[in-house]
Amino acid sequence: MLEDKSDTRPATKSFHENLIQRLGPYEVQALDVLGQDFFYLVDQLSANLHENHLQDAPLLDLSESEFPWELQVFANQFLRECAQSTGRLTNFCEGLRKRLDEPEFRKDFWRLLDEAYKHHFYVTDSEKHLLV
């Protein structure tokens, strides 16, 4: 019989699920006004960063369980800064999600996100270990 060699790591909770766990369902209901695109983008951006920076958790002194949450928090902050105001966040995320289908825009966006990641998570040891 063939052995199942699929990834046995537990699935990362969505940003929405993590917020419910940390804040409670009633407080999170108020955040639902941000829209599905916002929560989708936070999950996608943080998942992509996690995949591309798997080796950074120990360097940042984060556990394997803390790292995905910290990436979600970072993606949340990044989107909010890009939108420049909470009032524009919903429309910004809707437009961004559509624009990410464009190859050239997507390439530039991921480069910008990666630079912001490196700046946000910069630690002194990064110079030695190159936060990749």
Sign of CA dihedral 40, 16, 70, 64: negative
The pLDDT tens digits of the residues spanning 88-130 come to: 999 999 999 999 999 999 999 999 999 999 999 875 555 555 5
- Is the pLDDT at 5 greater than 50? The verdict is no
The pLDDT tens digits of the residues spanning 70-83 come to: 999 999 999 999 99
pTM greater than 0.85 (yes/no): no
| Residues 40-73: b if buried by 16+ CB within 10 A, e if exposed | ebbbebbbbbbeebeebbebbebeeeebbbbbbe
Mean pLDDT of the chain: 85
CA torsion 71-42-51-20 (nearest 10°) is: 70
- Which pLDDT belongs to residue 10? 53
Banded model confidence at residue 2, pLDDT cuts 50, 70, 90: very low
